[in-house]
Amino acid sequence: MQITVNNVVISVSEGDITAWQGEMIVNASNSGLYGGGGVDGAIHRAGGPRIAEECAVIRQKQGGILPGQAAVTTAGLLPFRGIIHTVGPIWKGGTAGETAILSQCYSSSLSLACSYGARSVAFPNISTGIFNFPKELACKTALDSVVTYVRERTSAELPLQRIEFICFEHDNAILYEAMLNDYI
């Protein structure tokens, strides 16, 4: 399933983001950039210790990153140009600005990808695992944020040609396919 917005192909697939083929992938990390479980664990395991070493440097320099922000490290042993680490909100019932923070995760990650001149980037379903963000709202927020970001930029500002949502869980893949269809 895919749509094209402003010459950027936005698509959905089901699988493991570490096996994706493209230039940069986004990680759903934590504010300290300490390798954890879920997709973060999978990326650190597959990419090896270089990623954690660079996370430690970011931590020393700037004390980690706030929810909604993003930072780039090497991809280590993984065949990407870099990993964009972002920190999603922990779901606290919806009254703590969680949706706006999740939206910022997508826009700050895309801004970093563009600043690196990336032509393709893949996102996991940020915050919908250990951080417990409701899946349907997370999907709508992810798609709205990415489509709005792409729509609002000129082609000179957008090296990106391809943005892919990688759903590890089948129910997320079904949700994304259905909601992406609504943007056609």
- What residues are labeled active site? 40
Least Å distance, CB 145 to ligand AR6, is 15
Strands 162-167 and 120-123: parallel
Least Å distance, CB 155 to ligand AR6, is 29
Q: Whose Cβ is closer to ligand AR6: residue 128's or residue 141's?
A: 128
Least Å distance, CB 26 to ligand AR6, is 10
Give which of 183, 153, 164, 116 is closest to 14, Cα–Cα: 164
Residue type, 107: S
Q: Whose Cβ is closer to ligand AR6: residue 166's or residue 179's?
A: 166
Q: Which two tokens stand for residue 40?
A: 């973060």
Q: What is the CB-side half-sphere exposure of residue 84 using CA atoms within 13 A?
A: 28
Give which of 112, 108, 153, 130 is closest to 24, Cα–Cα: 112
Q: Whose Cβ is closer to ligand AR6: residue 132's or residue 148's?
A: 132
Footprint on this chain of ligand AR6 (rule: CB under 6 A) = 16-18, 28-30, 36-40, 42, 88, 124-131, 166, 168-169, 172
